[in-house]
Amino acid sequence: MSNKPLNGIKIIDFTHVQAGPACTQMLAWFGADVIKVERPGAGDVTRSQLRDIPDVDALYFTMLNSNKRSLSLDTKKPEGKAILEKLIKESDVLVENFGPGALDRMGFSWERIQELNPKMILASVKGFSDGHHYEDLKVYENVAQCAGGAASTTGWWKGEQSGPMISAAALGDSNTGMHLAIGILTAYIGRQQTGKGQKVAVAMQDAVLNLCRVKMRDQLRLEKLGYLEEYPQYPHETFSDVVPRGGNAGGGGQPGWILKCKGWETDSNAYIYFTVQGHAWAPICDAIGKPEWKTDPLYMTPKARQPHIMDIFGTIEAWLKDKTKFEAVDILRKFDIPCAPVLSMKELLNDPSLRASGSIVDVPHKERGSYVTVGSPIKFSDLKPEITGSPLLGEHTDEVLAELGYNKDEIAAMHAANAV
Ligand code: COA
């Protein structure tokens, strides 16, 4: 642990569920001392949510809280508040994602935190930004996806399943946590210049919107042009005045679609994503056995192809009929065509490349034996994050209290008062 870049940064992790824990977990991987503060007896709600083994911390918790220490502390009790005050004086960062106003109600407003430690960086996740007309709302993942533009632009645009659609990716939770991590590190570097801490906040709505900026681009284009040429509605259907849902369309400068491969009738993931890069048209024609398309004016340019792009995808699908998704990608990669198989969670879990790179790791755990988790997606030349198990509730309470200067009798008194 000693030579990790964030070594020496002490973080009070007052987070729960996913958005905050994802942020502090990443900082812990890179060497920060992350002390998770949890309510005695209960802890983070995810410890007991969606359990797969009775009475053992759920994967929901273990996969978001590795490399941390756990301090159980009732911060509504005077003794608990006193401990938190001490901790604030000795830490660099406090991260929280409580509902609006909870930290103030607990007696730890930003003003109070600054009084205790002017160098403190207070990092918060909320559903909406300060002063927003929805600032009082509590927010979970899917609420944020709806508020940030993802739901209105994801999914099918016609038929029975044409309503707004939620993404399975945690655009509202973990994505907001990643934004917050960048904010914390920026404030930390800022502090090295000014000697002062500051408050860093990321609203889940804003973090989702930041990932949806290409859809806002499309709204602005739509208002100018009245149509969006890369959407499946073009040119045969009409556009309204809002960005439509585009199904599996490429969304950028090159058309793409999810295409069926051999076995799709029984395997729900027997598909590939196929991209028609403008300058890769000739190799595509060669790969799929349609060399005549290279010189056919109906196919030669992106503009000529667009009106019948879905028919072109249909022809490629016919070519894919006798190939599995892996066989298809193995052929297409030789022609430099951007594509990939649609991989299931099961396939990802067993992917040897992801194991070798540390993107999926096995981690020891005191009660589970071991568990699989997603490792660091960030790779460094001089740092290989070592993922350790998540802590049991209150596992490090006595250790942290001793570090704060409490003696054995005082620690015992805290336990007796149910403050820890
Ligand atoms: N000791 C004593 N009390 C504690 C405590 C501790 N260690 N830790 C938390 N609490 C109390 C808080 O003081 C607060 O009490 P109060 O409401 O009486 O003031 C309460 O526990 C926590 O409330 P809250 O965070 O609002 O929990 P919730 O379960 O009602 O709501 C969320 C959960 C996620 C909806 C809400 O926290 C939220 O909107 N967070 C911000 C957005 C966010 O991060 N959402 C994504 C989560 S993945």
Instruction: Name all residues whose Cβ lies below 6 A of ligand 1.
Output: 17-20, 37-39, 73-76, 97-99, 102, 105-106, 125-127, 138-140, 173
Please tell me the predicted confidence (pLDDT) of residue 253.
Answer: 85
User: Probe ligand 1: pick from 15, 137, 138, 178, max atoms within 8 Å of CB?
Assistant: 138
Identity of the amino acid at 371: Y
Please tell me the predicted confidence (pLDDT) of residue 2.
Answer: 58
Given 13, 44, 173, 218, which residue is catalytic?
A: 173
CA-nearest residue, atom 1 of ligand 1? 74
CA-nearest residue, atom 28 of ligand 1? 99
- The Cα–Cα gap between 176 and 203 comes to 7
Please tell me the predicted confidence (pLDDT) of residue 251.
Answer: 86
User: Probe ligand 1: pick from 98, 108, 420, max atoms within 8 Å of CB?
Assistant: 98
Instruction: Write down the residue that tokens 């570097």 correspond to.
Output: 189
- Residue 172 alpha carbon, nearest atom of ligand 1: 46
- Residue 103 alpha carbon, nearest atom of ligand 1: 13
Q: For residue 101, how far is its CA from the centre of ligand 1 (angstroms)?
A: 9
Q: For residue 67, how far is its CA from the centre of ligand 1 (angstroms)?
A: 22
Please tell me the predicted confidence (pLDDT) of residue 32.
Answer: 98
CA-nearest residue, atom 36 of ligand 1? 99
Q: For residue 402, how far is its CA from the centre of ligand 1 (angstroms)?
A: 27
Handedness of CA 49, 53, 56, 57 (dihedral sign): negative
Q: For residue 142, how far is its CA from the centre of ligand 1 (angstroms)?
A: 17
**pLDDT per position in the chain (420 positions), as tens?**
458 999 999 999 999 999 999 999 999 999 999 999 999 999 999 999 999 999 999 999 999 999 999 999 999 999 999 999 999 999 999 999 999 999 999 999 999 999 999 999 999 999 999 999 999 999 999 999 999 999 999 999 999 889 999 999 999 999 999 999 999 999 999 999 999 999 999 999 999 999 999 999 999 999 999 999 999 999 999 999 999 999 999 888 899 999 999 999 999 999 999 999 988 999 999 999 999 999 999 999 999 999 999 999 999 999 999 999 999 999 999 999 999 999 999 999 999 999 999 999 999 999 999 999 999 999 999 999 999 999 999 999 999 999 999 999 999 999 999 999
CB proximity list for 203: less than 8 A, separation 6 or greater? 125, 126, 127, 128, 129, 132, 176
Q: For residue 168, how far is its CA from the centre of ligand 1 (angstroms)?
A: 24
Total Cβ atoms within 10 A of residue 223? 11
- Residue 15 alpha carbon, nearest atom of ligand 1: 44
Residue-level length of the chain: 420
DSSP code per residue over 376-387: -S---SS-----
Q: Is the link from the previous residue into 235 a cis peptide, with omega within 30 of 0?
A: yes
Q: For residue 45, how far is its CA from the centre of ligand 1 (angstroms)?
A: 10
- Indicate the burial class of 398 (C-beta count within 10 angstroms; 0-12, 13-18, 19 or more): middle
Q: Reply yes or no on whether 173 is catalytic.
A: yes
- The Cα–Cα gap between 314 and 302 comes to 17
Handedness of CA 236, 239, 245, 246 (dihedral sign): positive
